[in-house]
Amino acid sequence: MFSEITQTPAFGILISIIAYSIGIWIKNKTKSVLANPILIAVIIIIAFLKLANIPYAHYKIGGDGIHYFLGPLTVALGLMLYRQRKIIKSHFISLLIGITCGVLTSFFSILLMGKWLGLDEIMLRSMVPKSITTPMALSLVEINGGNPVITIVMVIITGILGALVAPLFPKWFPFLDKIAVGVGIGTASHGVGTSKAIEMGETEGALSSTAIGLAGLLTILLVPPLFVLFYR
């Protein structure tokens, strides 16, 4: 009977909601960037599935129901871009060149280090979207190849890292413009880094949010051709 219950869509959806709520609760209690709600939810769900001996396939029935919303969610990011139109307009060229340099730095640093450490092509394809927001990163893996699970793990690690080290940059380089700091955080570490940028200041937060969308678009446009040109 237990196995019949876990095979309903309600099961996967319900434990996702419970685990995520616990993750949000812990994040709000500790206020630490290390307390990433997705990370906490994933640990709880995996532990529960293992302990109760429930197959992953059962969880996936309900999980897929949630997963399908990534499509409309990605489309809705268009509203976020629209809301940033004033900032984008007034600093268009600076943002475009600055973010493009960041996207290229991310791509070539991953490619060079990955080759040096002997990682295979699938690994490299999975890693190159790591600095952009998860829905866009998954879209990129869809057209450029790679293992989407590795991509998600890399995206989460990158976000947490960005949020941890971002406040150090204005400390080390106090002359840096607030706009530049925000753009850097959004380009390198998407939404998780941006949550830190919002705490640092209004300008940093707004520019970091703007950079997420632009960096994602530029990465999706540039990475597939760059991969063909430079991966041998």
Partner 1 sequence: MKLINQLGIIMAFWIAGDLLSHLIDGIVKIPSAIMGMVLLALALTTGLIKEHHIKETSDLLLNNISFFFVPASVGILALTGMSSSILFKLFFISVVSTLLTLFVTMFVTHFLIKRRG
Between residue 80 and residue 109, which ones bind partner 1 under the rule CB under 8 A? Answer: 80-82, 85, 91, 93-95, 97-99, 101-102, 105-106, 109
Contacts made by residues 202-206, CB under 8 angstroms, sequence distance 24+:
203/178, 203/179, 204/178, 206/84, 206/87, 206/182
What is the four-CA torsion angle of 38, 189, 220, 105, rounded to 10 degrees?
A: -140
Q: Tell me how far, at minimum, the Cβ of 36 lies from partner 1, in Å.
A: 8
Q: Among 33, 54, 87, 185, indicate the residue that binds partner 1 (CB under 8 A).
A: 185
Q: Would you tell me how many other CB atoms lie within 10 Å of the CB of residue 14? A: 12
How many helices (H) and strands (E) are present in the chain, helices listed first? Answer: 13, 0
Q: Is residue 121 a contact point for partner 1 (CB under 8 A)?
A: no
Q: Which is nearer to partner 1, 1 or 72 (CB)?
A: 72
Report the distance separating Cα 100 and Cα 106, nearest Å: 10
Tell me: does residue 71 bind partner 1 (CB under 8 A).
yes
Q: For residues 3 and 55, which CB has a smaller minimum distance to partner 1 in the complex?
A: 55
Is residue 224 part of the contact set for partner 1 (CB under 8 A)? yes
Residue 105: CB minimum distance to partner 1, A: 4
